[in-house]
Amino acid sequence: MTNQEWTERYTGALMNTFGPPKLVLTRGRGAHVWDEDGTEYVDLLGGIAVNSLGHAHPALLEAVTGQLGTLGHISNFFASEPQVRLAERLLDLVGRVASDTERIETPGRVFFANSGAEANEAAFKLTRRTGRTHVVAAQGGFHGRTMGALALTSKEAYRTPFEPLPGDVTFVPYGDAEALAAAVTDETAAILLEPIQGEAGVVIPPDGYLAAARAIATEHGALLWLDEVQTGIGRTGRWFAHQKPGAGEVTPDIVTVAKGLAGGIPIGACIGLGAAATLFEPGNHGTTFGGNPVACAAALAVIDTIEADGLLEHVTVLGHKLRDGLAANPRVTEVRGEGLLIGLDLATESSADVAAAALAHGFIVNNPTPARIRLAPPLVLTQDDADAFLAAWPAILDEAMGATTP
């Protein structure tokens, strides 16, 4: 079967929520994937920041098959070792701030779900347990497609067809601490922010913004909820994006994670710290699959591998090289990012053409907005793969945007 034949069958059998697929993929290894026609690609999107260890990583394979062969699913009437160990591990990682004196000593608790949207649904419900309903979130933010997560997402095109959505959400410009201070009141349950906005095209707030959000939340008795679904678990070269030494380092009340956590096995987690850890009581929330032993074993393997292979350092170094190389082109007006979450602005609204040209050159990249390209490759991306992309980059831009500079 060819890409073309499978695509026709796809269109006949699947709901049209994503538009036509770009390729039909058959296998992967490391940061490489192959399609139905046998063509090889370097995967610089990593399943949208999900395949932390790339494709077919032996540690993930062993963890998943080993756990499935031992105990694959129970239910939340029962507990399992991987689930408990992963919750403890996440609490340890989220408590690691650069300055040891500020290490979070308050209790934390984890609720496991199966996706980013579900982790956010759990957190949204958790905020309601404060007795308040008002949430302040950011314009351009993305928190998922379920009704609750959508209510917290500002993009009109996503929201409008599904209104009315759960209410009492105020959207403020991202990165503007004054606007945030003006919107939060003593009736506000939570401030919800991505430490770096991923779907908006990798938008980094000004230094001190998260610290200001922390101070504003504390002043009004509101919770600071950070959505680290895209930025968490090593993506930025730190375990969590909010652990940036200096003004970027804050202590949140709620952190949600998902995408890269289990390297491709569905999982989500809502981490509550301090008072937020114990807001749920029995019966307040639940899930059948959440905390599944296979997903938790996979996440433990991802975390162990990031640690054992020094991937945080690797991600930081490689991210710098990629950003420098991508910026060295007059048709690129700005390159942003931390670690291997990279966004860049093109001089014209040609991101779809650039993504298509990259694909034709054997590189998978993403175009989240008309003039922005995003890269979120596996954390195990090699220097050689990065170099190959940088070598092809000028020709990709020539083909997509014309050989003359704007």
Site track 236-275 with ligand PLP (rule: CB under 6 A), x = hit: ----------------------xx----------------
How many Å separate Cα 260 from the centre of its chain? Answer: 7
142 near ligand PLP, rule: CB under 6 A: yes
Rounded alpha-carbon distances, angstroms, from residue 163 to 151, 153, 154, 156, 194: 9, 12, 12, 10, 23
**DSSP SS3 for 269:** strand
Q: Which CB atom, from 132 or from 143, has the smaller least distance to ligand PLP?
A: 143
Instruction: Please select the residue that binds ligand PLP; options are 33, 86, 117, 357, rule is CB under 6 A.
Output: 117
199 near ligand PLP, rule: CB under 6 A: yes
Choose one: 39-47, 140-148, 159-167, 214-222; the region binding ligand PLP (CB under 6 A): 140-148
Crossing angle for the helix pair 311-327 and 293-308, to the nearest 10 degrees: 70
| Integer Cα distance of 289 and 267 in angstroms | 9
- CB distance 109 to 168 below 8 Å: no
Q: Which CB atom, from 165 or from 181, has the smaller least distance to ligand PLP?
A: 165
- CB distance 212 to 180 below 8 Å: yes
**Which strand (E) or helix (H) includes residue 298?**
helix 293-308
- Minimum distance between the CB of residue 168 and ligand PLP, rounded to whole angstroms? 20
Q: Which CB atom, from 257 or from 311, has the smaller least distance to ligand PLP?
A: 257
Instruction: Please select the residue that binds ligand PLP; options are 3, 230, 329, 350, rule is CB under 6 A.
Output: 230
Choose one: 98-106, 156-164, 225-233, 272-280; the region binding ligand PLP (CB under 6 A): 225-233
- CB distance 138 to 174 below 8 Å: yes
- CB distance 164 to 198 below 8 Å: no
Instruction: Please select the residue that binds ligand PLP; options are 121, 227, 353, 385, rule is CB under 6 A.
Output: 227
- C-beta nearest to ligand PLP: residue: 116
Which residues, in sequence order, are bridge partners of residue 138?
172
**Residues in the site for ligand PLP, rule: CB under 6 A?**
115-117, 120, 142-144, 194, 198-199, 227, 229-230, 258-259
